[in-house]
Structures are given as structure tokens and as C-alpha cells.
């Protein structure tokens, strides 16, 4: 197999952390989103802040920020980064009973923060599941994806609708 197209593998096919030592420091931003489909009981407990475990979205927001900061502890080949911003917002859609988490992560560094934004969204949605599972074990986490990234040699990426 030819491993030259994958920068996380050396020529022998062994996993390696990419050497970013010669890259320029630039401002890098990534935005990711995903959603969780819930039943009406969970939706209104979250919306009205009446869940027994407390303020679900506040806890999920903290989980997302923590996840962004700790991504390199979970994803083996990610570089530890000094994150300058990690934020998450939630959109509640009453029509389809979904809660969407959108995370933005920013760094001034030599490598991007796409994984940090994706990890933040994942942690936020998992936290919602954890806090509401007594009401609905059939919740479904859906469509986690990168929306936008900027900075670095590859420039701007915007997901097409």
C-alpha cells in the first residue's frame, strides 16, 4: 500500500504524529455542528430547564469546552494546542424535536482545530444524552460534521449545503 497520501503514516505504514515544526503560526478557526433527536418529554425538559439533573444545556456547554481543550488526550495523533476560544451554542427545533450543538474553536498555532470543534460537539451531545437518558434511551446523535475552517496553508473550507 502506498502511504504517501496520508500524512499520519510514515513510508512503512506506521502511525506518526505530523511534524508541524516548520509551519507558520496563523489564526485558525473551526466550526462544527451536530444534533440529537429526542422525544417530546426530553425536548421540553431541556427547553424549560426542568430536567431532574439540572440545566442540561449549561452542563453540555461546559462539557464541550472541556472536550475542545482535551482533544489531544483522546484522539491519539492530535497535537496539544493552546486554545484561545471554545464556545458552543444550541438551537432547539420544536418541529423535529432536535437539539443542535454548534461549536467554534480558535487557536493561534501551527495546526488546525477541526478535531477540537468536532470533539466539542460530540461531548455536548453525549452530555445531553447522559443527562436525559432516564427520560428517553432512544435519543439519536446525528450528523456531526465540520461546517467551516480557516487558517493554515489549505485556507478556507465551507461545507456545501
Residue 6 confidence (pLDDT) above 60: no
Residue 1 confidence (pLDDT) above 70: no
> What is the model's pLDDT at position 3?
44
CA distance 111 to 71: 13
CA distance 73 to 141: 23
The pLDDT tens digits of the residues spanning 110-154 come to: 898 999 999 999 999 999 999 999 999 999 999 999 999 999 888
The pLDDT tens digits of the residues spanning 35-84 come to: 999 999 999 999 999 999 999 999 999 999 999 999 999 998 899 999 99
pTM of the full predicted structure? 0.90
Phi, psi of 47 (to 5 degrees): -60, -45
98-109 β-sheet, strand order? 83-93, 98-109, 26-37, 140-150, 157-158
> What is the model's pLDDT at position 8?
62
130 included as an active-site residue: yes
Q: Which of 55, 96, 130, 136 is catalytic?
A: 130
CATH architecture of 26-153: 2-Layer Sandwich (3.30)
* Domain spans in the chain, listed from the N-terminal domain onward: 26-153
Residue 4 confidence (pLDDT) above 90: no
Residue 5 confidence (pLDDT) above 60: no
- Please compute, for residue 62, the number of CA atoms within 13 A of its CA located in the half-sphere on the CB side: 4
Amino acid at each position: 500500500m502506498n502511504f504517501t497520501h496520508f500524512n499520519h503514516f510514515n513510508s512503512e505504514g506506521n502511525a506518526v504524529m505530523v511534524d508541524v515544526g516548520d509551519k507558520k503560526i496563523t489564526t485558525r478557526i473551526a466550526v462544527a455542528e451536530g444534533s440529537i433527536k429526542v422525544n417530546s418529554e426530553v425536548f421540553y425538559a431541556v427547553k424549560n430547564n426542568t430536567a431532574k439533573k439540572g440545566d442540561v444545556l449549561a452542563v453540555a456547554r461546559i462539557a464541550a469546552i472541556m472536550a475542545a481543550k482535551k482533544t489531544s488526550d483522546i484522539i491519539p495523533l492530535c497535537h496539544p494546542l493552546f486554545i484561545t476560544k471554545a464556545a458552543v451554542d444550541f438551537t432547539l427545533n420544536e418541529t423535529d424535536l432536535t437539539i443542535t450543538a454548534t461549536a467554534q474553536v480558535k487557536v493561534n498555532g501551527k495546526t488546525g482545530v477541526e478535531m477540537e470543534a468536532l470533539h466539542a460537539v460530540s461531548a455536548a451531545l453525549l452530555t445531553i444524552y447522559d443527562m436525559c437518558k432516564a427520560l428517553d434511551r432512544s435519543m439519536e446523535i446525528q450528523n456531526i460534521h465540520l461546517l467551516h475552517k480557516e487558517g493554515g496553508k489549505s485556507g478556507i473550507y465551507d461545507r456545501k449545503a
